[in-house]
Chains A and B, each alone.
Chain A
Amino acid sequence: MSVAAAASETLLTRLAVEDFLYAEAALLDAWRLDDWLALFTEDCRYFIPATDLPDGDPRATLGLIDDDRARLQGRVDRLNSAKAYREFPWSRTTRLITNVRLPADAPDTAPGELAVAANCAAWRYRKGDEQTLVGALEYRLAPAADDAPAAFRIRSKRVVLTAEALRPHGTLSIIL
């Protein structure tokens, strides 16, 4: 392949990834959490390290969230319930996804998986309170089946928060 052809293929992949990430963010902003969960593989992982240990692996050190598919389902079921009091009524949120990159040398990438890095800024409003959550997103995406509605499936999603602590707003009650 010529250099120009390779570059345009990378560009097309990135555009497809961007579309996918924007659609994912739109599902979360719309609280369509069942549809959001359907984007994940059965063996998925969703995790957020502690603010004071951004490189930590929540399986070995204390993190904020470490969900496999079953726990992620539990998180979604909870947020769909009127008994998730921190999020009922739901907060209003807007997520901006930017700086989308396809790092060529990402570690722990299985054959066929696509490593994606992006930035995320999310604003959350509730009870007269504004919360801003900013962070770096790292994905491992698997190609979806041909007849699937989305182009990819999420095998892992890691969110590294930029904040030094969850203060002054105390919790991480929405999905990033």
Chain B
Amino acid sequence: MALDTQDLQDAVIDDRERGVFRVKRTTMTADAMWHLERKRVFDQCWLYVGHTSEIAEPGDFVRRKVAGRPLVFVRGRDGEVRAFYNSCTHRGARVCRQDHGNTKSFQCFYHAWTFSTEGKLVGIPDKEGYAHAVDPAELGLRPVARLACYRDFWFVSFNPEVEPLEDYLAGAKEYIDLVADQGADGMCVLPGTHQYACNANWKLMVENSVDGYHGAPLHHTYFAFLASQGDDDGAKQLRSVEARAYDLGNGHAVVDYPAPFPRAIARWHPIYGEDAKDELQGIRDELVDRCGEERAHRMAETCRNLLIYPNLLLLDVAGLTLRTVWPVRPDYMELTGYALAPRGESAAQTRRRLEGFNLFLGPGGLATPDDIEALEACQEGFAATAEDYSDISRGMHRDAATVDELQMRAFWREWQANMLGLGHGAHDEGPKPAPAGVAS
């Protein structure tokens, strides 16, 4: 199936007057959609690559796959952060073959060309075999087109013309701040990652990660466990009047709601035991001193599922999770989850944080396996009904709540505009977050 403009226009029905929003399911099944997504979404946007704490020292590196492209994210011996294509300029072999580490240089194992951590080609065995026209200065590791950082979160873009990262992040910046400010000395990624997958279209996981509507029915077993531990208001919080959803511009969106879970920062829960009360109170007091009562309240007692378009989720929930969603085929995605924590927090705090993280999130948790099951069930259903539309209209006639679907409409409006080659989509539905959320 070749796509034309009409197909892309028909892919999303956005009828504000009637309060109807629908997405055609071929957007999640067709190869042609996926091929175009690679060009018009993943080759255009800013994409998350890593966190400053993962390459803290000169020579530190991590390997990453970003939109299917193997990269090395490295802090050079000169202290500067760079991102290179992990492919030898000689004949293309993957140069760095370790997931992470610290190195003086990268040597390709095939013919032993050697590159510095700054990407320069510094060693060619039997160099006399080359004519003068073969200039090592031109054969350094190829850097990605753009690399930029906001609050220790690093993004790459394969589009040299992409707008500045801070403009791109738009209203999401304030929400990233609410994560980045949780540690007085900044945040760090803990060792260990969840590397898993789902046999469904990647956009289903993006939707699911900000979907408050499914929380109570799908995650019954998780909330039942919390209730068994002496907390029975869990699922109710998702429906509280304070539970909101916002379109943050440029496809970013958030659901912002009172915490239905224990939070290591800094909502005490019987699960933590009496012993933890003092430490959590101390953390909360420090947050108030540093950030003011209003922001401290938001960090401690409320939760956020933040979507950074197109495929990064910052889930500030029972644990603090960074999740990336990478399409591999229209019906298969790879997922990676990282745990974030305030730098230098106590061992007891890390333990509470990880217990909360593991219990809910991740491939061995009490909740995420059912999310995966639900998305796969959708993809299976699409086999029968690909020409049909999915309905994402919930809450279009009111100021959207967490259990509504405004956050998904924000994604799809951006997606459709990108796919049509029109730049950013319209992001005018619903109120913007109250300015009270900004630093006081």
* A62→B339 contact, CB < 8 A: yes
* B370→A61 contact, CB < 8 A: no
Task: Quote the shortest CB–CB distance from A64 to chain B (angstroms).
Answer: 4
* B192→A62 contact, CB < 8 A: yes
Q: Which stretch of B39-47, B113-121, B217-225, B418-426 is in the interface?
A: B217-225
Q: Which of A52, A164, A172 contacts B192 (CB 8 A)?
A: A52
Q: Does B435 contact A (CB under 8 A)?
A: no
Considering only CB atoms and an 8 Å cut-off, how many residues of chain A contact the other chain? 40
Q: Does B193 contact A (CB under 8 A)?
A: yes
Q: Which stretch of A28-36, A78-86, A97-105, A150-158 is in the interface?
A: A78-86
* A49→B192 contact, CB < 8 A: yes
Cα-based distance from A73 to B220 in the complex (angstroms)? 16
CB-CB under 8 A for A65 and B354, given A50-B194, A56-B192, A86-B372: no
Contacts of B225 in A (CB 8 A): 71, 74, 77-78
Contacts of A56 in B (CB 8 A): 191-192
CB contacts under 8 Å to B, within A127-176, are 127, 164-173
* B190→A167 contact, CB < 8 A: no
Q: Which stretch of B13-21, B68-76, B359-367 is in the interface?
A: B359-367
Contacts of A167 in B (CB 8 A): 195-197, 334
Considering only CB atoms and an 8 Å cut-off, how many residues of chain B contact the other chain? 44
Task: Quote the shortest CB–CB distance from B41 to chain A (angstroms).
Answer: 22
* B196→A170 contact, CB < 8 A: yes
Contact flags B195-229 to A (C-beta < 8 A → 1, else 0): 11111000000000000000000101110110011
CB contacts under 8 Å to B, within A88-125, are none
Task: Quote the shortest CB–CB distance from A131 to chain B (angstroms).
Answer: 11
**Total of A-B residue pairs, C-beta within 8 Å:** 129
* B199→A62 contact, CB < 8 A: no
CB-CB under 8 A for A64 and B369, given A50-B193, A51-B195: no
Q: Which of A51, A66, A77, A87 contacts B358 (CB 8 A)?
A: A66
Q: Which of A65, A85, A87 contacts B364 (CB 8 A)?
A: A65
* A62→B373 contact, CB < 8 A: no
Q: Which of B195, B228, B370 contacts A165 (CB 8 A)?
A: B195
Contacts of B199 in A (CB 8 A): 168, 170
Cα-based distance from A78 to B197 in the complex (angstroms)? 22
Closest B residue to A65 using CB positions: B364
* B197→A170 contact, CB < 8 A: yes
* B335→A170 contact, CB < 8 A: yes
Q: Which of B347, B350, B366 contacts A74 (CB 8 A)?
A: B366
Contacts of A87 in B (CB 8 A): 369
Cα-based distance from A167 to B36 in the complex (angstroms)? 25
Q: Which of B99, B220, B335, B362 contacts A52 (CB 8 A)?
A: B99
Q: Does B374 contact A (CB under 8 A)?
A: yes
Cα-based distance from A71 to B229 in the complex (angstroms)? 10
Q: Does A53 contact B (CB under 8 A)?
A: yes
* B358→A171 contact, CB < 8 A: no
Contacts of A78 in B (CB 8 A): 221-222, 224-225, 366
* B370→A172 contact, CB < 8 A: no
Closest A residue to B358 using CB positions: A66
Closest A residue to B348 using CB positions: A59
Closest 4 CB pairs of A and B: A62-B192, A165-B195, A74-B225, A86-B369
B residues with a Cβ closer than 8 A to A are: 99, 190-199, 218, 220-222, 224-225, 228-229, 332, 334-335, 337-339, 347, 350-351, 354-355, 357-359, 362-364, 366, 368-370, 372-374, 376
**Given pairs A59-B347, A60-B347, A86-B372, 5 additional interface contacts (CB within 8 A):** A61-B354, A64-B358, A170-B197, A170-B199, A170-B363
A-B contact list, 7 entries, CB within 8 Å: A61-B354, A78-B221, A84-B370, A85-B218, A168-B199, A170-B363, A173-B364
